[in-house]
Chain A
Amino acid sequence: MMPLRLTALMAGALAMGLAALTAAAETRTITDATGRQIEVPADPRRVFAAGPPAATLLYTLKPDAMVGWPRAPGAEDMPFLRPGTRDLPALGRLTGKGDTVNLEVLLTARPDLIVDYGTVNATYRDLARRVQAQTGTPYALIDGSLPTIPATLRTLGELLAETQRGETLAAYAEATFAGIDAILAAIPEDRRPTVYLARGPEGIETAARGSINAEIIDRVGGRNVVAAGPDGLATVSPEQVQAWAPEVIVTIDADFAAHVGTMPEWQGIPAVRDGRVYLAPAAPFGFIDSPPSVNRLIGLKWLAQKLYPEAAAPDIEAEVARFYTLFYGVTPDRAALAGLLGSGHPGE
């Protein structure tokens, strides 16, 4: 009676196949951040992230559904990424300044949903509409601003059929914001340090108050010395930085952090004189921006600890380990943490 078990097996496989088919076919209608009504699969299995912010968000919520990275992660990022996502192909990005994805490549990846996370304006709404019309794949645009991160995690969690995980991460985000607010409540405006964000090996690339690249400095109460400017990156002269005399310099450039102590044009600036130049960790995602996504939550805690050493939580290493475990699914060991944060202490 061999066939009995085989038949049962086949029937089971058939049932599972049918279930998968119906699941794939099952759709529901949602409204995205631009107000567009889109029909999405009830349980999206293959999701294309339109750019690095969306890829990070998708990675934290449903890594199994990723079909690729906008840019391949570097060797230094690999230890902090889930094994299954390390070798995903680099497919390019749909939005932002350089549109590098080929729509045929996109379709070859067979996504059942495209997610974009970032600025919501007429350009991106139009891009979403055009790509959806051209590819026949639903395209959801989600508001990428910092304060809406908890809501975003819940919304996208639900959209990806990961409601429980979305709720867990959202709760962490809310607790992070509440913790920052509690610290700030005790520190009057004029006792918060002035901050300069240094980018590039020369440190003269920066971002102004209110720009997305420096948003977390504003959020932790740092007084960004670059008051006004274009919404994005700007280049300034070291003389201008001398005139600003920032008390803290935050940088994302390891080369700059290593050499600022000996660069003649940076001498005498309070932050350099007092050893308050801090290099933000960058693997697998940046602490300050790059990309401006949920990775900035740990950046907020790290920066709060740098700006207010007395007021903030003392054990940043444990906090980083907790965040990486919860959001990235990888628990860094002692050596990895030291590598990650140790480079964040130039001159110490």
Chain B
Amino acid sequence: MSERAAAPLLALGLAGALAAGAMLGPYPLSPVDVAETLIGRPPDPQAAIVLWNIRLPRVVAAALIGAALAAAGAAYQTVFRNPLVAPDILGVSQGAGLGAVLGILLGLPVLAIQLMGFAFGIGTIALVMAIALALRGMGQVLVVVLCGMAVAAIAGAGISLVKLMADPDDQLPAITFWLMGSLAGIKQADVAAALPAIVAGLLPLIALRWRIGLLALGDDEARTLGVEAGRLRLLVILSATLVTAAAVSVAGVIGWVGLMVPHMARLITGPRFDRLLPVALAMGAALMVLVDAAARCIAQQEVPLGILTAVLGGPVFLWLLARGGRTWAE
């Protein structure tokens, strides 16, 4: 598919996914009901409550989080020049997870749990960076990634410890469910809380997309083209971390989206980051909205998003692999 033909299709796909997200859910609302409620003439007051307070915040949050994870994954894969990199490569998910499960263990209010998740996620990356700098300097990508793995393992051990200490009848199910990712409890206030961090992280990625793409060529090559690789890489890591931590802190750990969507987007755009980013943003948003709609419609019980994305992501990734890795070009 050519890129020119893909653009309108993508826009249409995203709009379709958003519309489907607004229509689908366990509360019986016909498409007409939804449309009437959207233009401010709800068929009954309850329809307005369900749509504005429950369903639309979820749709918006899903779109934001899907876009954020896909963009972070694409950015990391580019700057680390490695197709196997996901947004949580540096341990942000484990760090945020540790903060959130600690909050659940302490019985904190939901907003405090989210804040702790966010703060621990950012703190984890700060720690990784500090260690990497102390060891070798930020120049060596491999050192940064290995530091991230080690810190993530420690945070993972912390999560296991919290699980062990949690009340198995009460807190443990909540922790387990949180770690699998869900938007079941999302509300307007959560979207408002996560939005600034996600936008603040996405803006530098969008603004600097052309320069970021040069990092894929290697540091020396980038320097001859006038891009200071170390500093730019640091900025990308910080931005991608910010959006990932914000996403994880409201939605829990949702795997595979950040790894899979950039690869799907590359089928259309090829490896250039400046072209890849907008497509990844749109595909991530659409995919997440649809997955979340499925999560609330499949059963009376919420299906954790992490389960759905893994069931979806595993086969898609294998299919991409079977295509011979032609989508990734150095």
Contact = CB atoms under 8 A, between A and B. Distances in A.
B328 interface: no
Given A205-B174, A239-B50, A289-B169, A264 B188 contact: yes
B253 to A, nearest CB: 15
B187 interface: yes
Contacts of A263: 187
B184 A265 contact: no
A22 interface: no
Contact of B27 (A242, A255, A291): A242
B109 A255 contact: yes
Contacts of B137: none
A242 B45 CA distance: 12
B26 A237 contact: yes
B187 A240 contact: no
Contact of A238 (B54, B107, B110, B164): B54
Interface string A261-287: 001110110000000000000000000
B325 interface: no
Given A239-B26, A268-B49, A229 B301 contact: yes
A213 B173 CA distance: 13
Nearest to A93: B168
Contact of B25 (A232, A234, A239): A239
A345 B164 CA distance: 34
A242 B50 contact: yes
B300 interface: yes
A265 B170 contact: no
Contacts of B27: 239-240, 242-243
B172 interface: yes
Given A243-B26, A289-B169, A230 B49 contact: no
B164 A98 contact: yes
- Listed residue (A97, A230, A240) with the most chain B CB atoms within 10 angstroms of its CB: A240
Interface in A271-314: 289-291
Contact of B46 (A229, A233, A268): A268
Please report whether the interface of chain A is mostly helix, strand, loop or mixed according to DSSP: loop
Given A240-B27, A268-B45, A234 B301 contact: yes
- Listed residue (A98, A205, A230, A239) with the most chain B CB atoms within 10 angstroms of its CB: A239
A238 B185 contact: yes
A272 to B, nearest CB: 11
A235 interface: yes
A100 interface: yes
Interface string B180-194: 001011011000000
B54 A239 contact: yes
B185 A97 contact: no
A339 interface: no
A258 to B, nearest CB: 10
A202 B110 contact: yes
A208 to B, nearest CB: 8
A236 interface: yes
Contacts of A234: 300-302
Given A239-B27, A243-B26, A97 B296 contact: no
B228 interface: no
Given A237-B54, A242-B27, A265 B169 contact: no
Contacts of A290: 169-170
B324 interface: no
- Listed residue (A71, A96, A238, A267) with the most chain B CB atoms within 10 angstroms of its CB: A238
B24 to A, nearest CB: 10
Nearest to A291: B169
Contacts of B188: 264
Given A200-B174, A238-B54, A243 B301 contact: no
Nearest to A235: B302
Contact of A264 (B53, B107, B167, B168): B53
B40 interface: no
A226 interface: yes
B300 A228 contact: yes
- Listed residue (A200, A228, A265) with the most chain B CB atoms within 10 angstroms of its CB: A265
- Listed residue (A71, A200, A227, A242) with the most chain B CB atoms within 10 angstroms of its CB: A242
Contacts of A267: 49, 53
B170 A235 contact: no
B28 A243 contact: yes
B172 A199 contact: no
Contacts of A268: 45-46, 49
A281 to B, nearest CB: 16
Interface string B294-310: 00100011100000000
B55 interface: yes
A264 B184 contact: no
Contacts of B317: none
- Listed residue (A52, A97, A201, A227) with the most chain B CB atoms within 10 angstroms of its CB: A201
A214 interface: no
B296 A235 contact: no
Interface in A74-133: 93, 96-98, 100
A122 B257 CA distance: 40
B119 to A, nearest CB: 19
Contacts of B45: 268
- Listed residue (A100, A228, A236, A291) with the most chain B CB atoms within 10 angstroms of its CB: A236
Contact of A265 (B49, B174, B177): B49
Contacts of A243: 26-28
- Listed residue (A213, A226, A227, A268) with the most chain B CB atoms within 10 angstroms of its CB: A268
Contact of B296 (A202, A205, A229, A237): A237
Given A237-B296, A255-B107, 19 more contacts: A98-B163, A98-B168, A213-B169, A227-B300, A234-B300, A235-B177, A235-B301, A236-B184, A236-B300, A238-B53, A239-B26, A239-B27, A239-B296, A240-B26, A242-B27, A243-B27, A263-B187, A264-B187, A268-B45
Interface of A: 52, 71, 93, 96-98, 100, 199-202, 204-205, 213, 226-230, 232-240, 242-243, 255, 263-265, 267-268, 289-291
11 contacts: A97-B169, A98-B163, A100-B164, A234-B301, A237-B58, A238-B54, A240-B302, A243-B26, A265-B187, A268-B45, A290-B170
